[in-house]
Structure 1
Amino acid sequence: MVTKTEESQLKNLEIQVDNGGGGAWEFLSLVRKLKVRRSDKVLKHGLSILNDPKQRSTLGSEEWTLYEQVAVAAMDCQSLDVAQDCTKALRKRFPESKRVGRLEAMLLEAKGSWDMAEKAYTSLLEDNPLDQIIHKRRVAMAKAQGNISGAIEWLNKYLEIFMADHDAWRELAEIYLSLQMYKQAAFCYEEVILAQPTVPLYHLAYADVLYTLGGLENLQTAKKYYASTIDLTGGKNTRALFGVCLCTSAIAQLTKGKNKEDKEGSQLHSLAAKALEKDYKQRAPDKLPQLTTALKSLTLSS
């Protein structure tokens, strides 16, 4: 994750380079270090160095790192001729490199030569089954072709090997949500929360999925995760506050006539409703009557 200091440093360097103040190599190095995408700027400033023999000669072995960086940026920008020239230069310098082979496969993908790219990726994975980038490229390629079932298949295969990749679990959850496969999405969010338990966004997403699934057990768990979202955000998440009200109301309706009133649920509902009203009074007073009406409809049974 990029820190605010690093983000500020990158922005300052970018402005400096764009205004002709020098520091192009430092900018390109920082982009690589932070693993951020600035493809148009990388292409522009990277080419300016590669096309200048004097500048290029000062890089030493880092010249080839720059060729690779510019090749990937060129593919992002659909400057495929530039990408091909960079890849050819790398292949000439490293004729046996699997890393260059990966770039060549990515270039085939960028050209829309899906079958050839797939064959190239398959061959590379046979040599190195743990190449994360290639696994991820297969997922991206399936999505680019509109093959959602294929993307799910490749993501699941990837996660069998790299179970700790929370970004991949989140991506899979979002795909399942788009297909209304809520049980599968819920499982993915459980894995994400295990990996990053203090990120309120994941608690909220998990609670939303459980509330959508419905049923007493899911609603009770959803209420807990809405509550944890509120706790993690210092009580400032409007969606989570409203989620608590929705859950406590739904739970009360399901348990009507079966159990005694859930005092804890009633108290939580009351606290959430008051917090919502306070928030609306400050931020959107004109919408307060609508909120009040909505909250009145979420009555708890006794």
Structure 2
Amino acid sequence: MEPRQYEAMIAKAQSGSATSATELLQFMRTHKIHQPELVLLHGARLLKGGARALGNEVWTVMEQVFLAAAELGCDQWRDYCLKELTKKFPSSLRVERLKGIEKESLADWKEAEKIYQKILAGKPEDTVTHKRLIAMYKQSGKVPEAIESINTYLETFSTDSEVWHELGELYLECGMLQRAVFCFEELIVHNPRSMYNILTYAELLYSTGDLETSRKYFSLAAYLDGANLRALWGLVACNMALMEKDKTREKSKQLQELQKFTVQRLRTAYKDLGGSGAHGKPALNLLAAVST
């Protein structure tokens, strides 16, 4: 998506053209642009203009406006849109889900949960409702329930890397590091070249005491990006811990060589970044202490 293209569409929509406003809302849906204020501004104007101007787009725009209004706490538009959608699609599961979102916007968590559980009882393969329920648990501070719901979801949809990541982050939040390790193992299987996944996995292994495997993954990250400070500092920490743990002559010599190489890479990285900056000088001083 070109930012200039998007900005030009906003400018056209602001001129008052119904066609331009409709195109802007379509563009936002297609590119998953999250700007509820903009949706409410132009969507509400279109709905005020009547259904004829929108044609077949009216119900899609109405749902879009409902979601924006629910998020922003604009009760009048939220209630109006939900009423019209319910009237038009009385037996729609999609509209039923919107009723759950309405309850969420009112902080009526119990009622929202009832609605989502009822939908899932009849349609357990409904991934959107599963994710809505998980989001609701997180929003209402029910982390154990969110974890349980995610695990239930992953029993059926085990290839959903986005949800594995969410579960890993929740385990981290709860201090359940070993379980978070398992989640990031799954994420690496799904995307073995993701620097974020590799580095987070390496740091989790370090925190749980698996120093050798942690060192291997920090090394992999450094191999993929030789100037990555997070990877290089991780290697320094692993090497120091391993040298302290295993003081056999041969092993220690290998680790010292690796440490020397890693420290040099860090010095080069800071030099390339302009090592005299606010963070550069302390880092270089620390490297000097590490290498002595």
- Per the TM superposition, whether the score is higher than 0.5 is yes
Task: Output the CA distance in 1 between the equivalents of 2:233 and 2:176.
Answer: 24
Q: CA deviation at 1:19?
A: 6.0
- Structure 1 position 256 matched with structure 2 position 253: no
Aligned length: 289
TM-score (norm 1): 0.87
- In 1, the alpha carbon distance for the partners of 2:10 and 2:257 equals 52
2:6 aligns with one of 10, 15, 29 = 10
Query: Per-residue CA shift, 1:43-84, capped at 9, x if unaligned?
Result: 11111111112xx42432221111111111111111132111
Please identify, of 198-207 and 275-284, the stretch whose mean Cα deviation from structure 2 is larger.
275-284
Q: Tell me which of 280, 285, 298 is aligned to 2:276.
A: 285
Cα distance in 1, alignment partners of residues 12 and 221 from structure 2: 40
Q: CA deviation at 1:293?
A: 4.3
Identity %: 34
Deviation (angstroms), 1:288:
5.1
- Residue 256 of structure 1 aligns to a residue whose secondary structure is coil
Q: Return the letter of the residue paired with 2:267.
A: E
In the TM superposition, 1:49-198 aligns within 5 A as 49-53=46-50, 56-198=51-193
* Alignment partners' CA distance in 2, 1:146 and 1:239: 31
1:204-252 alpha-carbon deviations (Å, 9 max, x no partner):
11111111111xxx2111112112222333x121111111111112112
Q: SS of 1:260's equivalent?
A: helix
Tell me how far apart the structure 1 counterparts of residues 70 and 187 of structure 2 sit (CA, whole Å): 31
How far did 1:294 drift?
A: 2.8
Q: Given the two structures, how large is their TM-score scaled by the length of structure 2?
A: 0.90
- The runs of 5 or more residues in structure 1 that have no matched partner are none
Q: Which runs of 5+ in 2 are unaligned?
A: none
* Structure 2 CA distance for partners of 1:12 and 1:229, relative to 1, 3 Å: farther
Tell me the amino acid that sits aligned with residue 270 of structure 2: Y
Structure 1 residue 266: Cα displacement: 3.8
- The question of 1:268 aligning with 2:265 is answered no
Separation in structure 2 between the aligned mates of residue 8 and residue 157 of structure 1, nearest angstrom: 43
Alignment partner, residue 31 of structure 1? 28
